[in-house]
Amino acid sequence: MKIIAIAKIGLLIWVLGVSIYVLSYSIPLIADAELQANCSLSLAVLPIVWFGTGWYFKKDSTTKGFFVGLAFFGIAAFLDALFTVPLLVLPVGGSYQAFFTAPGFWIIAAEFVLVASVYGYWFHRKKVASV
């Protein structure tokens, strides 16, 4: 696994995800702003992780997509613990426990791993097999 590439792409994925989450609060479409932000992030994670995984595999890696997804999610969770929770969650009365035990957090975690796994299985596997 190429640690520097994973770290850069994981950071970019996290920045885009947090930006979309925060931006969704400023566009009121439904009454529950938190639900809207979580839904927006859940939808946005799919293409962001897809393209991030594709970008990682352009470096001619032999890493399994599952591990790429775990690494991306691990980076995002670490950055959430360092920045997202203290800056966005705690000031409005939330907690680390509430953030990291929320079902939406784990749904997004599953999306990270599933999307990277599918990309790795369908696209990267075929590229390696044809070489």
Is the entire prediction scored with pTM above 0.85?
A: yes
How much is the pLDDT for 127?
60
pLDDT in tens, 44-81: 999 999 999 999 998 767 889 999 999 999 999 999 99
- Cα–Cα distance for residue pair 131/127, rounded to 1 Å: 7
pLDDT in tens, 12-43: 999 999 999 999 988 989 999 889 999 999 99
For the cut 90, the answer to whether the pLDDT of residue 124 exceeds it is no
- Please list the helix, strand and coil fractions of the chain in percent, rounded to the nearest 5, in that order: 85, 0, 15
Q: Tell me if residue 94 falls in helix, strand or coil.
A: coil
Of residues 45 and 1, the one with the higher pLDDT is 45
Domain boundaries, the chain: 3-130
